[in-house]
Amino acid sequence: MTVAAQVQEARTPDLSQPILEQVADVGDGYDAWVHNGISPKRARQENAARLEAGDKIATRWPDSVRIFRSDFLESLSHPQWRTILAIWVPVVTLLIGGSIAWAGLAWGYAALWALGGLVLWTLTEYLLHRFFFHYRPRSAFGRKLHFLAHGIHHLDPWDPTRLVFPPLAGFGVGAIIFGLLLIPLPLAQALATMGGLLAGYIVYDMTHYYTHHARPKTRWGKFLKAWHLAHHHKYWTRMYGVSSPLWDVVFRTGRPR
């Protein structure tokens, strides 16, 4: 069955209403529906319908569809790219600085461990994108979880307020990763590695925003934009790297020949 036929067969949500509570009922056509995407024009039309119905929060994000019925939860789903820099740059500085000033790691070793964390992030980015953000949910709960984690971005990829990871969720994922680093590493090395890993995360989020909303002038910038947009519009089961295609090359999940 073609993607278009699967989308037509799915019980697609009414986008003028909060989407999350409807996602569970989409059924087996969910994967095709969420990756088919909508245009910026469609998002504005659905937003206008909500505004006419008296949804005052629609005025704050005119280019967005609504996820939650709760105004508070909805407001948390629109992180700005500047927020990522404001929160995570100081955290990176504290982690690497703490590994030196508090945990006693030498500058050179701290830099090497941070560089290792940066490389580790590139693999983490690939694995998260491929196996978590693009797993195929089979249950109602799974569809809701996937939609919140990544589905909304593929449904509405041009929404400028949903291109970076919400900080609260980022702290949760970061805490898990740091806990895993503490298993094989002493505290000082874990701090420096986590600082480098989070620096890589910042690069990833800024690159992701850039590929959707910038007009690259450099050859590398144009390549990354074309690579990521091909993932969205042609090959959503391939081309998982955003800040780099390195692991797509290693695991042979790049652009099909």
pLDDT of residue 10: 52
- What's residue 54's pLDDT? 83
**Given this model, what pLDDT does residue 4 score?**
44
56 in a structural domain: yes
- Cβ burial, residue 4 (10 Å; 0-12/13-18/19+): exposed
**Confidence (pLDDT) at 11:** 67
Phi and psi torsions of 204, nearest 5°: -60, -50
d(CA 41, CA 38): 8
12 and 28 Cβ atoms separated by less than 8 Å: no
Domain of residue 183 covers: 3-250
Q: What's the number of domains the chain is made of?
A: 1
Asked if the structure places residue 75 within a domain, the reply is yes
Residue 92 lies in a domain: yes
Domain-located, residue 256 = no
pLDDT at residue number 84: 94
Cβ-in-10-Å burial (0-12, 13-18, 19+) of 1 comes to: exposed
**Does a structural domain hold residue 255?**
no
Mind listing the pLDDT tens digit of every residue in the chain (257 residues)? 444 444 445 568 999 899 999 998 898 889 999 999 998 899 888 888 888 888 888 888 888 899 999 999 999 999 989 999 999 999 999 999 999 999 999 999 999 999 999 999 999 999 999 999 999 999 999 999 999 999 999 999 999 899 998 898 899 999 999 999 999 999 999 999 999 999 999 999 999 999 999 999 999 999 999 999 999 999 999 999 999 999 999 999 999 87
Instruction: Single out the residue of 28, 25, 23, 29 nearest to residue 4, CA to CA.
Output: 29
Is residue 130 in some structural domain? yes
Full DSSP string of 203-215: HHHHHHHHHHH--
Tell me if 148 is assigned to some domain. Answer: yes
Can you spell out the DSSP letters for 99-123?
A: HHHTT---HHHHHHHHHHHHHHHHH
11, 25 Cβ separation under 8 angstroms: yes
User: Considering the domain boundaries, does residue 257 fall inside one?
Assistant: no
- CA–CA dist 224, 194 (Å, integer): 25
DSSP letter assigned to residue 80: -
Q: Which value, in Å, is the radius of gyration of the alpha carbons in the chain?
A: 20
Q: What is the pTM of this model?
A: 0.90
Task: Give the burial class of 85: count Cβ atoms within 10 A of its Cβ; 0-12 exposed, 13-18 middle, 19 or more buried.
Answer: middle
Cα separation, 97 vs 253, in Å, equals: 37
Phi/psi-derived region of residue 65, left when phi > 0, alpha when psi is between -120 and 50, beta in every other case: beta
pLDDT computed for residue 7 by the predictor:
47
